[in-house]
Chains A and B, each alone.
Chain A
Amino acid sequence: MQVAFTLNGMPAQLEAAEGMTLLHALRGPLGLSGPRFGCGQEACGCCYVTVDGEPRPSCALPVEAVAGRQVGTVEGLGTPEAPHPLQTAFLAEQAGQCGYCLSGILVSAAALLERNPDPDEAAVRAALEPHLCRCGAHNRMIRAVLRAAREMREGVPA
């Protein structure tokens, strides 16, 4: 079955087999590496993407469910040449250790700042609650999200 959707603003299309999740499609035929496999049970946050702007896990979502919709991944946030303020802030705060959880966390943080440009610490923690980090870099990540929010509001390059 052919499935077509918009991926990071560009048209994407693939032949989807039964049992293929959105995560399989993104990491397989679509060639991305940002969304990561962590549990396959929507329980850890590593595979988060946005679907029509809403953050959600991709590891158990059949790929056909996103036909015709807008899918966003960490690759769509920014590049080393044109980083998203969150990516700049995560580097500035050195907010990570192994980094495996970061793709999903950045996607959720970006969605948070879209709907709430001025979150307090509790709002950041709540937005990141679906995400596990085993290295213990949580506090740095919270600081990085607050820093990016501040810099986006003030229009200052992060």
Chain B
Amino acid sequence: MNLAFGFPMGKGGNAPDLPGSLRAEPRLSRWLRFSPDGHVTVTPGKVEIGQGILTALAQIAADELDVAPHRVRVQPASTPGSPNEGVTSGSLSIQESGVAIRHACAEARAIHLGVAAQRAGVAPAAIRIEDGVFTRADGMVIGSYWEQAETVPLDVEARGDVPPKPATARWIAGQPVSRLDLPDKVFGAPRYVHDMRLPGMLHARMLRPPARVASLIELRDGPLPGDASLFRDGNLLAVVASEEWAAEAGAARVAARARWDVQESLPEESDLAAWIQAAPAQRSEVERRDDPAPDAALAVSALFQRPFIAHGSIGPSCAVARWQDGAVEVWTHSQGIYNLRADLVTVLGLEPERITVRHVEGAGCYGHNGADDVALDAVLIARANPGRPVRVLWSRAEELAWSPHSPAALMDIEATLDADGMLSRWRAVLRGNGHSSRPGRAKDPTLLSSAYINPPFTYPVAIDAPMAGGGGGQRNAVPGYRVPSLDVSMHRLLEMPIRSSALRGLGALLNVWATESVMDELAELSGQDPVAFRLRHLEDDPRAAAVLREVASMCGWPRISSEEGVGTGIAVARYKGTGGWCAVAAEVEAAEVVRCRRLWIAADVGEPINPDGVINQIEGGAIQAASIALKEAVHFDRLNITTDSWEAYPVLRFSEVPAVEVRLIGPRDAPPLGAGESSLGPTIAALASGIHAALSIRPRAMPFTPDNLAAAME
């Protein structure tokens, strides 16, 4: 095929300038392929984790190619079948994968049109595409993607010079579209990795020791149910059986027969702040500005504390693995299949080519949970049972207590106002564990069971991405308000008694709350309305001001309640300082416990690909944040985490969920920004502000329980 239509083969030199994930994988054929039967298969490296990304990516492809959405098939990611897009995290999938697919489809479309135009002897611009069929101006059909599927190769690098459609020409990107994955889920059809049933499949249950640091010293013999058998590698135990009930019952029996030598390794929970203050740490500057600052007229200084928080996915982590002929295939709900593979390479000592990782959907994922860990469990047990697929399902206790946790932290802020009531100086010092223990990024693996096998590995201490990569603990530690003198620093702890990693929002949960609380306090002390006070400092960020004005109008600010113990708070932030803007107002009712009655949310995420999906994500994030703010804390003793059941780790229930109103504002033709995490920080902050309006107490520790609020009054 002659491709001399202005589309020479790529020279491999375009990648640095290409948009989104095309930088990582410029070859078009790695992103999409047409098939003669009338479908186009899109192969993103990002994965569905309950956020609806498959649907949004299908919309983008359908729009750019001008094909009906039902013709777009989004293939679940796999190694090596998908581009390596790193991790599905940070609300970046539209910016990275969506933008790549949009540009890849624009180039593929242009290549196809070029071929059709040459064949028909017309200019490409004279060809219309309707549902994948190419039509000349006189109405004559001259071809289609499907006819040309096998003759027009897309095995070329993107050039980066084919602009996608203008926003005004889009017909399905930007429209509310029903999720592709939801029908299976309302009919109970098999769709999750939990539902996989392969011929000859074995079921396994893991047995965790009674302490984080433990060695098995005795395991009494005894019968196991059915055909169940014991798996052991060092201090890692599991029970394997051909039927699930037998694996579960067998695991309970083996647990009762094991005797462990245990060591205390966790800090004293009752004085968590002291441990955070005393632990060795690495200091780094987050941002500093030394413009001349007017003299301080008043000052606020406050210390904010957050606990360890659990992911609490509603379905425990699960994986299936099959070991055959020295190679292994694993089905997983990991967020980063290539990164998982890298850690499996380290643990198993296998060549990467001998490990195939396939993504299959799991239950809701809000960050680095047990998905990668259970994949290693399945692989280790499969290695001991070659030829038989092995399915490992974690228990609820493992999911809540043994998954990585979002780390506890302290945020210390001092801020001053000048005589005109404007911010003059802002100093913030953050201290806590890093927010990433994701696999595939260090010499040693981060996977749970790697520390219990023989010989054991040692987990690397959690790190934080630099601010340019969105940051970790320091995410949103720099206020979005204008202030001449700024000094924000962080101290990342160098010991990690509790495995810490990313949970939706990362540092923004603490930092937005702390920042907005100090802003509220400064406004109050200087006699300014908190909304007007913020707007005075947002002149450089009109989109932040716009969401704040919008939410103020939605809730009827200032919303003074005549009911005792009822108040409304308000907060705003731009996620990561580079993502979507979100403002939240929260009506709080404080009686025996604090309840959130209503949330009003205004958000600007640029171009919303699937507006209904964006609203669903923003509301879901806000409800999860309300749960975190009002109820959630991981508890532990010196041996282990003790919040290992829903009874011990309660989350918001149907009777407690607030009414939520979400409005999307802002320019629909601006570049798309992430949506899924932007509402969490402002929701926590608005709740704290609402508590102050209701009770005149400024919360200083999460969660905002009666005990923690009572402590704040002292």
Residues of A within 8 A of B (CB): 17-21, 24, 27-28, 31-41, 43-44, 46, 73-75, 78-80, 83, 87, 90-91, 94, 96-103, 106, 125-126, 128-129, 131-140, 142
A135 to B620: give the CA distance in the assembly, Å. Answer: 5
Q: Which chain B residues in 346-376 approach chain A with CB under 8 Å?
A: 361-366
- Interface of chain A, main secondary structure: loop
| B395 interface residue (CB < 8 Å to A) | yes
Residues of B within 8 A of A (CB): 49-52, 178-179, 181-192, 194-195, 197, 225-226, 243-246, 248-249, 312-316, 361-366, 393, 395-396, 612-613, 616-617, 619-624, 645-647, 651, 653-655, 657, 659-660
| CB–CB A34/B188 < 8 A | yes
Q: Could you say which of A37, A125, A142 contacts B315, with CB atoms under 8 Å apart?
A: A37
| CB–CB A125/B195 < 8 A | no
| CB–CB B314/A91 < 8 A | no
| CB–CB B624/A134 < 8 A | yes
| CB–CB B657/A138 < 8 A | yes
A-B contact pairs, 18 of them (CB 8 A): A20-B245, A24-B248, A28-B244, A33-B192, A36-B192, A83-B187, A94-B616, A97-B617, A98-B314, A99-B182, A99-B186, A100-B314, A125-B654, A134-B313, A134-B364, A134-B366, A134-B651, A135-B314
Complex interface: chain A residues within 8 A of B195 (CB): 33
Least Cβ–Cβ distance between B463 and chain A, in angstroms: 26
| CB–CB A38/B188 < 8 A | no
- Interface of chain B, main secondary structure: loop
Complex interface: chain A residues within 8 A of B620 (CB): 97, 135-137
With A36-B194, A37-B316, A134-B313: A139-B619 Cβ-Cβ less than 8 Å: yes
The chain A residue with its CB closest to the CB of B226 is A17
A139 to B653: give the CA distance in the assembly, Å. Answer: 11
A10 to B77: give the CA distance in the assembly, Å. Answer: 38
A128 to B656: give the CA distance in the assembly, Å. Answer: 12
| CB–CB B188/A132 < 8 A | no
Complex interface: chain B residues within 8 A of A17 (CB): 225-226, 243, 245-246
A128 to B244: give the CA distance in the assembly, Å. Answer: 28
| CB–CB A94/B187 < 8 A | no
Complex interface: chain B residues within 8 A of A74 (CB): 186-188
Least Cβ–Cβ distance between A2 and chain B, in angstroms: 16
A1 to B153: give the CA distance in the assembly, Å. Answer: 61
| CB–CB A94/B178 < 8 A | yes
A17 to B366: give the CA distance in the assembly, Å. Answer: 37
Q: Could you say which of A21, A75, A99, A142 contacts B245, with CB atoms under 8 Å apart?
A: A21
| CB–CB B396/A41 < 8 A | yes
| CB–CB A94/B314 < 8 A | no
Best-surrounded residue of B186, B366, B613, B616 (most CB of chain A within 10 A): B186
Complex interface: chain B residues within 8 A of A46 (CB): 314-315
Least Cβ–Cβ distance between A76 and chain B, in angstroms: 9
